[in-house]
Every structure is written in C-alpha cells, then in structure tokens.
Amino acid sequence: MALVELVGPDAEIYAIDKDARALCSQERAMRSRFPVTTLHQLVADFTRPLALPVLDGIVVANALHFQRDQDEVVRLLRSYLRPSGRLLIVEYNTEHGNLAVPYPVPYSRWRSLATQAGFAHTELLTKRPSRFLHEIYSAAS
C-alpha cells in the first residue's frame, strides 16, 4: 500500500509471498483503500524464477536477510527490471545476524551486491534506529 501511495493509484502492482493468507489480507486492505489499483498476487517464492512482465521497480523489504545466496537472488531480481528500473531495499544495517535475521545485508554489502548484479548507481535513502538490530536502512539501486 505504501508503494501505491508513492506511485499513484493507476499503478499495476505485483505482490509475491509464500503465505496465501498474507496476500488475502493485503488484497482486502488494498481494495478498501485503492479500489482502482491493479493488483496481481502470486503465491510463490521470490527467490525462484517467476513469469513476470518487465517491471519498472521492485521493493524488497526485510526479506533478503533470509537468503544465504544473496548474489543469485539480486541478479534474478535485476533480470525482471527494464534497463532503467529501480530496486528499493529495506534491511538491517548490521554485520552480525541472529536466528531471526540469519544473513544480514548491511548497506556496505548491499552496494557491492547491487553493483555485481548490474545496477549502475546505489543511493542510501534513509536510516532509522531499530530496537531489534540497532539500525534499519532503505536504499535504491
């Protein structure tokens, strides 16, 4: 829903989650707030190849830190984007994980992952304190 607020209600959104119940809840909320927005939902694993059209942008929030092979996942995500497409990431800015965040992606690592995946520019958007793992950030590549 935050994405629709940013890009406008005429957006076409693809939501991917392994949890069908989460997608149902999202659909109800979207329909009540943004009834004209086109929402496509896929019960799927975003780390596996998906049949998606070429996208203008992708948002990955608090998900990459569950992936051991982040290089491969970021390259896959990049392959869905048009050449000028952008990927927005929200992650914990720490080197040391735990059971809930096994493979953290600090911003310094994200810049490297993004460059290796073919993104020409990466920009830190903001950082916020986090009670859970010190700090969380957002970046666009």
What SS3 class is residue 66? Answer: helix
Both tokens of 53, joined, read: 């059209």
Query: Per the confidence metrics, is the pTM higher than 0.75?
Result: yes
Both tokens of 29, joined, read: 């909320």
Residue 131 confidence (pLDDT): 84
The 10 Å Cβ neighbour count of residue 62 is 13
Q: Where are the alpha helices (DSSP H) in 1-141?
A: 2-7, 20-33, 70-79, 107-116
Q: Report the alpha-carbon distance of residue 78 to residue 117 in Å, rounded.
A: 7
Q: Does residue 115 contact residue 122 with C-beta atoms inside 8 Å?
A: yes
Question: For residue 61, what are the β-bridge partners?
Answer: 90
* pLDDT (tens digit per residue) in 62-82: 999 999 999 999 999 999 999
* Domain parsing of the chain, residue ranges: 1-44, 50-141
* pLDDT (tens digit per residue) in 2-24: 788 888 888 899 999 999 999 99
Topology of the domain comprising 50-141: Rossmann fold (3.40.50)
Q: Which pLDDT band holds residue 132 (cuts at 50, 70, 90)?
A: confident
Residue 89 confidence (pLDDT): 96
Residue at token pair 């829903």: 1
Would you say how long the chain is, in residues? 141
- Across the range 23-52, mean pLDDT stands at 94
Q: Does residue 137 contact residue 90 with C-beta atoms inside 8 Å?
A: yes
- Across the range 31-44, mean pLDDT stands at 94
* pLDDT (tens digit per residue) in 90-118: 999 999 989 899 999 999 999 999 999 99
